[in-house]
Structure 1
């Protein structure tokens, strides 16, 4: 079983970008799949699982540039908050992207978290320039990481 974050991000946004005459999707340190992206596992602490990699969406002669970098999942009270690196904040901070309830299971020594119905946050709506409403449902997210190091909140 692979260890990492299987994340389509927002598949309808990806389809839109790929349909632009000059649209592009470029991944660095992340595997591109037909149905999304695989971000490799980085590390974790008591409540947060971190992944690494970057996906850039570009188009409209450079006017469109959205990037998703170094996603993290923070678990609290049965909910998962997905955040991404925020390069526009000094010092570099985090931007909340989506949140949702999760289901946890362990298979062959790997913890799997499934966030079946993640919803965009207010901050991520700004990232997409208001094209998607706060609370909009996005594609399911599947996170995996080694058992024995799972965050306390996931036990």
Structure 2
């Protein structure tokens, strides 16, 4: 059975976005980082990560798309800074993956998506023999605007992981 044929319904997405961005928003006097819609802080002390719950998956012979629910909102500067990462999807093709979110610039159309990161997939096993998945991520050119042009294309983001519930 290939990774694209596995049932990933017992896994959630854990992602820390970008440490320096988290630190920046947290340092603002009015900075807020708020999960919504089923997303929540990952309960591991000392880490800035959030869990996005599995919602569904779709696969064909060459790709696997694992969809997650929830959203994470970053606000600051009296509303001048607003980043919304809504319903992330990881799409795998071999050892490469993309991370996409709802394109909030198309609001209220929630069907349009924006690929915000690309990366390399590491397939392994945890101590119980379950498949362990980690994706190193880099910001795409299309997502530079999402972060107000602060980060250049190719900037490293936090790795994304599929974690057993």
> TM-score interval w.r.t. the shorter chain?
0.7 to 0.9
RMSD across aligned positions (CA): 2.0
Corresponding residue of 2:162? 143
Native 8 Å contact 1:84 1:96 kept in 2: yes
Native 8 Å contact 1:111 1:145 kept in 2: no
Q: TM-score, normalised by structure 1?
A: 0.84
Q: Aligned pair 1:30/2:39, yes or no?
A: yes
Q: In the aligned structure 2, how far is the partner of 1:109 from the partner of 1:51? A: 23
CA shift in 2, pair 1:91/1:51, >3 Å? closer
* Count of aligned pairs between the two proteins: 144
Task: Kindly report which structure 2 residues correspond to 1:10-89, keeping only aligned pairs within 5 A, or say none.
Answer: 10-28=18-36, 29-33=38-42, 34-46=47-59, 47-89=64-106
Native 8 Å contact 1:86 1:93 kept in 2: yes
Deviations 1:110-154 (A, max 9, x none): 443111x310001211101110000011112112469xxxxxxxx
Q: TM-score, normalised by structure 2?
A: 0.79
Native 8 Å contact 2:103 2:110 kept in 1: no
Deviant stretches of 4+, over 6 Å: none
